Structure 1
Amino acid sequence: MRDQDVEPFFATLQAANPSPETELEYTSVFELLAAVLLSAQATDAGVNKATRRLFPVAGTPQAILDLGLERLEESIRTIGLYRTKARNLLATCRILVDQHGGEVPRTRDALEALPGVGRKTANVVLNVAFGEATMAVDTHIFRVSNRTGLAPGKDPLEVEHKLLERVPAKYLHDAHHWLILHGRYVCVARLPQCWRCAVRAYCDYEPKTPPPGDRAG
């Protein structure tokens, strides 16, 4: 993607969705952290389905600890890798209670020290809960960044660094939401829906996918 196309690319995404938000459901910073931890290799819709049962019963670190492993597993068993995630969430809650007064820490190092919390999860919490201009590179952002030529890279960390360099400062806070939603609903993995893409004029991907009725065969 040409440098001169980056600004209108994000201006177009902003015009279509001025205040993008995560699709994970939460009512507190801890619930956000727990939901993102549970969302690895799972859909937001699937996580929301489980947390609608879990959070009204156990929406704090201490409440999760009081619930115990067996009941926690039962609450989230519809989510992929639920056993591992339950153990990680329980261990994270123990650290939050013992070391952070039951509160979610505001630093990257402290977040990444929590079981099951990697760089992407920490970036989401820092951005959504604490307003930092971070870039949480998931599979959608990785695909969109490479396919469009916005920030090509061989791994998520390289893409993250390139995005932080290329995205204009005024768009940084919301950029990862726009890119996730664009990858989730338009620039999809199997066949990008170029015919209805608002930013196709700025994208390097060729050949652009034609509308379904115009495709041969």
Structure 2
Amino acid sequence: MTDILILTGAGVSAESGLGTFRDEDGLWTQYDLNDVCTPEGFARNPELVHDFYNARRDNCLNSAPNAAHEALGRLQRDSRHKITIVTQNVDDLHERGGAAEVLHMHGALSGALCHSCGARWPAPPVMDPLAPCPECRLPETRPDIVWFGEMPHYMDEIHRALGQASLFVAIGTSGNVYPAAGFVSEARAAGARTLELNLEPSSVAGQFDAARLGPATRTVPAWVDEVLAAE
């Protein structure tokens, strides 16, 4: 069985209509990230933060998985390979595309978190800053999203998978956000081959053994077909 660790970023969901940080006219350009993506911003104005993530959640709920998500789900179901999917994305398009046990290192729009007691529960489509936590009853609910300055989820599992992988594949990532940008060097140090699938070279492109450039809906299914066709 081949161990393959796949890291995905915003580029894998862009063709489903979910914008990236770099989109000139996207949702991100309408907000100061310090106001909506930090604990300090939430403390200053929780209503603004909820408005931002309610808009993102609505965008996600009205989007559909694309051919790249579906191809990765198909690959994960092949019993000859152990596929670990780690995503920087907070949407659920991998799961809706057929993948299972995806490690959402930056959290998920589908989750709610109590800023006070740490309780977690499924998020409603629209979150209200005055809604009480179901555990402690305090009005401290926030999206279960990893904000700037917070520790990403599942790091122990990710480091373990990086150490065991024979192939590391990064799909649609910028290479600008750590710790994910450092995964390729960690995988190489552990002896894995490395491959980048991206619309354009990432900031860490020089650390990959090979690269295929183009839209994720073209490069990912083509690569998956090659893997599944191999003996």
- Answer 1 or 2: which has greater helix percent: 1
Provide TM-score, normalisation by structure 2: 0.30
Select the structure that is richer in strand.
2
TM-score, normalised by the number of residues in structure 1: 0.31
Q: Give the greater-gyration-radius structure (CA).
A: 1
